[in-house]
Amino acid sequence: MAKATYKSAGVDLDLYRQAMARIPALLSKTKCARVIDVPQGFAGLCRLDFPTPLFARNYADPVLVACTDGVGTKLKVASAMGVYRTVGIDLVAMSVNDALCCGAEPLFFLDYVALPKDDPPLLAELLEGIVAGCLDAQCALLGGETAILPDLYKPGDFDLAGFCVGVVESKNVIDGKSIAPGDLVIGLASTGLHSNGYSLARKVVFEIAGLSVEDQAEAIGMKVGDALLTPTRIYVKAVRGILRHYSVKSVVHGIAHITGGGIRENLARIVPPKIRIVLDRDAWPVPPIFRWIQGLGEIDDAEMEQVFNLGIGMILVVSPFYAASIRKQLAAMGIDSWIIGQAEEGEPGGVVWSRPSPR
């Protein structure tokens, strides 16, 4: 009888070491002055402030902001395409965009990758995407964990989780409490589905319509797999730029990241009592990919609205006097935006459409 080894149980430590050897060079791309080197350390270290006067934040009362998220069944599309870099960007986006809703500056990011077997090229491609996302979000990839779990994941399966920690001065925390009647709602364009609604999208596209990732979707002018793998937009540079621009005045009163639950449900999370926000569903063009999926699956408008972002990936609720200036700044950073609603006084609270759904 052969002796049992870790390799015979499905974990190849030699391959694992090969994979780990690729990581330091990738992490170094996101290193900033806050990061403290701890070679072979068991944890990553990050200074809250920069050690040099030139970049020092000089926090008076800093508040740490922590977020965690995953990519969901979009990973199934990545596996079908054999393309893994974009979901690394998605992983970062889902957490840093959430942190941004409090007005936070992302400090660092951690990842968790679970695989059925050691696969150094796959891990490297995933990490390349995570690094690209961290660079876009202006935060350091401080470390992470790679788990080889042959009994939990089938060949071809894998999972990702991400963790972001940010910081914001307590006086600058954005929580929606200052939203007032007359405030305008600015919708920032998404790049597509982002990372939500993929269980429904996959069922419609692959099961009901019988398409494959390699098929051409004429309605959207690209391959099915490419359309579904478009990475989530990271809004950090744009929104942080706006917050720095108005560092003295309280101009941005609320921020909502539009993820699962859609526009109304996510925006309602930040609306204070006795304020309601009225949205105009005709204020922005819904990207073709959403109408394409809706048509394939004969999905009701109400269902679409509670599952997908419909072209709005983030929302800013702002003072009406600065809305035009903010939109101009967004345009300069390459982000389309629209005035999609307004805050008003009265009951009921939450978020309503200016006219009912046509279905």
Paired with 290 in beta bridges are none
187 touches 315 (CB < 8 A): yes
170: left (phi over 0), alpha (psi -120 to 50) or beta: alpha
Whether residue 2 is contained in a domain is answered as no
Average pLDDT rounded to a whole number, residues 165-194: 97
Compute CA distances 164 → 101, 104, 132, 167, 356, whole Å: 13, 11, 15, 10, 38
Whether residue 349 is contained in a domain is answered as yes
Residues 150 and 261 placed together within one structural domain of the fold: no
Residues 120 and 268 placed together within one structural domain of the fold: no
Q: What are phi and psi of 267, to 5 degrees?
A: -65, -35
Whether residue 358 is contained in a domain is answered as no
Residues 313 and 207 placed together within one structural domain of the fold: yes
pLDDT at 147: 94
Q: What's the CA gap between 12 and 7, in Å, rounded? A: 5
Whether residue 29 is contained in a domain is answered as yes
pLDDT tens for 67-92 read 999 999 999 999 999 999 999 999 99
Q: Please tell me which residue, 210 or 57, carries the higher pLDDT value.
A: 210
Domain count, the chain: 2
Residues 222 and 309 placed together within one structural domain of the fold: yes
Close Cβ partners of 66 (under 8 Å, ≥ 6 residues apart): 99, 163, 164, 165, 166
pLDDT at 13: 78
The pTM of this model reads 0.93
pLDDT at 355: 60
pLDDT range class, residue 200, cuts 50, 70, 90: very high
Distance of CA 155 to the CA centre of its chain: 27
Cβ-count burial 77-106 (b if 16+ within 10 Å, e if not): bbebbebbbbbbbbbbbbbbbbbbbbbbbb
Residues 245 and 339 placed together within one structural domain of the fold: yes
Q: What's the CA gap between 247 and 168, in Å, rounded? A: 12
pLDDT at 211: 96
In this model, does residue 356 exceed pLDDT 60?
Answer: no
Residues 26 and 147 placed together within one structural domain of the fold: yes
Residues 162 and 201 placed together within one structural domain of the fold: no
Q: What's the CA gap between 183 and 80, in Å, rounded? A: 44
pLDDT tens for 258-284 read 999 999 999 999 999 989 999 999 999
Residues 25 and 136 placed together within one structural domain of the fold: yes
The CA-CA-CA angle for residues 160, 84, 331, to 5°, reads 95
Q: Please tell me which residue, 144 or 356, carries the higher pLDDT value.
A: 144
Whether residue 341 is contained in a domain is answered as yes
Among candidate residues 171, 197, 216, the one where a domain is terminated: 171
Q: What's the CA gap between 296 and 285, in Å, rounded? A: 19
Among candidate residues 112, 146, 171, the one where a domain is terminated: 171
Residues 257 and 296 placed together within one structural domain of the fold: yes
In this model, does residue 359 exceed pLDDT 70?
Answer: no
The CATH number of the domain holding residue 206 is 3.90.650.10
Whether residue 70 is contained in a domain is answered as yes
Q: Within 10 A of 309 (CB to CB), how many other CB atoms are there?
A: 31
The CA-CA-CA angle for residues 235, 240, 241, to 5°, reads 105
pLDDT at 358: 41
Whether residue 5 is contained in a domain is answered as no
Q: Which domain holds residue 324?
A: 184-353
Q: What's the CA gap between 251 and 243, in Å, rounded? A: 8
Whether residue 8 is contained in a domain is answered as no
pLDDT at 45: 87
In this model, does residue 214 exceed pLDDT 60?
Answer: yes
Query: Which range is least confidently modeled, 35-44, 121-130, 141-150?
Result: 35-44
The CATH number of the domain holding residue 25 is 3.30.1330.10
pLDDT at 350: 84
pLDDT tens for 225-269 read 999 999 999 999 999 999 999 988 899 999 999 999 999 999 999
